[in-house]
Homo-oligomer: A and B are copies of this chain.
Amino acid sequence: MAEKAEVGCARPTGGPVGEEPVKTPQDTPKTIKEVRGMIKVGQKAPDFVSPGYQKGEFINIKLSDYLGKWVLLCFYPGDFTFV
């Protein structure tokens, strides 16, 4: 699930992967523009790949590798912050 990463001098980065969110045919063009990229319950979580750190190792994670499991994805403002 977590692929171990080789680490060089460049800071690695990740990003969203896969198709754009599905557009339902009955959407008007205006609606499509407004809802594009908006997260909605009942719809697929946008897939992504991301480098990370876990238990002493640098790894690469792809969200879709977690299909079949429940996932809690938690964003936060930053390391060494207070809350």
List residues of A whose CB falls within 8 A of some B CB.
33-38
Contact = CB atoms under 8 A, between A and B. Distances in A.
A27 to B, nearest CB: 13
Contacts of A35: 37
A79 B37 CA distance: 29
A77 B41 CA distance: 12
Contacts of A37: 33-35, 38
A61 B37 CA distance: 29
A34 B34 CA distance: 8
A1 B15 CA distance: 45
Contacts of A33: 33, 36-37
Nearest to A39: B38
